[in-house]
C-alpha cells in the first residue's frame, strides 16, 4: 500500500474520524466527540489512522484496558485505566479506503505496538454482524456470563465478545 500511511490518530483527525464513524455505525453506536477523544488520551492509547493521499481513510480506536471489562458505548474513559489487555474499541473504514486491506493493516500495526508494551491478549466486541471479519483476523468468540454479558448486550443484539492472543514482539522489528 504505497499510497497509504499508518500513524497515530491525533486530535486533529477527530472531525474526519467522526464523519467516518457516523457513516459506519447506526446512531446508537456512534460515540460523542468527548468519548471518542478520550480514547486518544488514555495512558496506553494505541489509536491509529490510515491516510490515503493525505486524507483519513480509516481509523482504529484501541487502548490498554482491564481484562473482560469493556466500557459502555459513549463512556468518557479515565486517563489512567489499568492496561491488562489491548481493547479494540472501534475500527472503521471510510468509502475511500474500502477494499484496500486497511483493517488488516491497522490490526497488524496495533498488534506490533501492543506486543512491544508487553500485552499478550486482545479483546473486542464485534458489532452489527462484523464477527466474520474479526474471525478472518484470528479472533474467536468467547462465551460470556454475568456482568460481561450485560456489557456486551449494550452494544446491540448482534454483539459478540471476541478475543485473540497477540504474537510476542520480535526483537529488532519495528
Tell which residue, 171, 169, 166, 101, has the closest CA to residue 139. Answer: 166
Q: Exposure pattern of 128-147 as b/e (b: 16+ CB <10 Å)?
A: eebbeebeebebeeeebeee
In this structure, the strands spanning 121-126 and 160-165 are antiparallel
Q: How high is the mean pLDDT of the chain? A: 94
For the chain, the domains span 4-165
Tens digit of pLDDT for each residue in 68-109? 999 999 999 999 988 999 999 999 999 989 999 999 999 999
Record: fold of 4-165: Aminopeptidase (3.40.630)
Tens digit of pLDDT for each residue in 18-29? 999 999 999 999
Entry pTM? 0.94
Amino acid at each position: 500500500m504505497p499510497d497509504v500511511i499508518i500513524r497515530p490518530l491525533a486530535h486533529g483527525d477527530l472531525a474526519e474520524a467522526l464523519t467516518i464513524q457516523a457513516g459506519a455505525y447506526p446512531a446508537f453506536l456512534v460515540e460523542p466527540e468527548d468519548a471518542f477523544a478520550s480514547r486518544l488520551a488514555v495512558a496506553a492509547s494505541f489509536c491509529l489512522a490510515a491516510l490515503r493521499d493525505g486524507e483519513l481513510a480509516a481509523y482504529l480506536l484501541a487502548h490498554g484496558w482491564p481484562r473482560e471489562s469493556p466500557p459502555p458505548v459513549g463512556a468518557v474513559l479515565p486517563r489512567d485505566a489499568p492496561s491488562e489487555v489491548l481493547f479494540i474499541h472501534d475500527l472503521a473504514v471510510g468509502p475511500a479506503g474500502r477494499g484496500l486491506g486497511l483493517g488488516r493493516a491497522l490490526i497488524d500495526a496495533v498488534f506490533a505496538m501492543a506486543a512491544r508494551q508487553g500485552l499478550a491478549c486482545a479483546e473486542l466486541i464485534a458489532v452489527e454482524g462484523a464477527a466474520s471479519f474479526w474471525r478472518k483476523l484470528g479472533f474467536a468468540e468467547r462465551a460470556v456470563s454475568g456482568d460481561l454479558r450485560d456489557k456486551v448486550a449494550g452494544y446491540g443484539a448482534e454483539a459478540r465478545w471476541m478475543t485473540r492472543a497477540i504474537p510476542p514482539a520480535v526483537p529488532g522489528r519495528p
